[in-house]
């Protein structure tokens, strides 16, 4: 019963937990391409901008699942990289292990983008070494910003 309560709390807190760490199984290309475009024009989003955003988000979540803190840090906006090293960004042991991801949707509004990412996580229950908690699925809204034609994950995530 206690494990069920802990799991329920973790599932409810998943958006908060996932905003600070990440990773997943690559479903799109494994490279981290950059958007060769420049500042957006008054016409709004284009298919090229949206696809570049999706690819950068996929690269970030693939790095998170692989546990590659340096690759995640490289995709962080410059303001975040100036505040912390890759080791500081990685932090310690988290409350969940990232098992898989799928980029579901992406929208671009000028210099800002939002990517809906479906994650499969394994909650880690402290103090319950023998207890097995079932993986959980959650969809997060990942926030991105485009600077000089390249998409970066924003430091603050909702």
Per-residue pLDDT in tens (0 to 9) along the chain, 158 residues: 444 434 444 444 444 444 433 333 333 333 333 344 444 444 445 899 999 999 999 999 999 999 898 999 999 999 989 998 888 887 766 778 899 999 999 999 999 999 999 999 998 877 766 677 889 999 999 999 999 999 999 988 85
Q: What pLDDT does residue 119 have?
A: 96
Question: Is the distance from CB of 117 to CB of 1 less than 8 angstroms?
Answer: no
| Residue (of 11, 9, 8) closest to 139 by Cα position | 11
Domains of the chain (ranges, CATH numbers): 2-153 (3.10.450.50)
What is the pTM (predicted TM-score) of this model? 0.68
Q: What pLDDT does residue 105 have?
A: 95
Residue 37: CA count within 13 A, CB half-sphere = 17
**Cα–Cα distance, 74 to 76 (Å, whole number):** 6
| Residue (of 33, 95, 104, 21) closest to 65 by Cα position | 21
């Amino acid at each position: 019963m206690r494990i069920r309560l802990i799991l329920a709390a973790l599932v409810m807190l998943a958006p908060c937990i996932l905003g600070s760490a990440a990773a997943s199984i690559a479903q799109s290309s494994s490279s981290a391409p950059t958007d060769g475009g420049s500042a957006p024009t008054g016409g709004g989003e284009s298919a090229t901008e949206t696809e570049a955003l999706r690819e950068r988000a996929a690269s970030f979540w693939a790095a998170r699942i692989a546990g590659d803190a340096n690759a995640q840090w490289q995709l962080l906006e410059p303001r975040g990289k100036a505040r912390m090293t890759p080791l500081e960004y990685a932090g310690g042991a988290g409350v969940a292990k990232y098992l898989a991801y799928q980029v579901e949707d992406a929208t671009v509004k000028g210099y800002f983008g939002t990517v809906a990412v479906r994650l499969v996580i394994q909650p880690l229950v402290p103090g319950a070494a023998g207890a097995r908690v079932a993986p959980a699925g959650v969809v997060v809204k990942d926030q991105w910003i485009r600077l000089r034609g390249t998409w970066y994950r924003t430091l603050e995530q909702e």
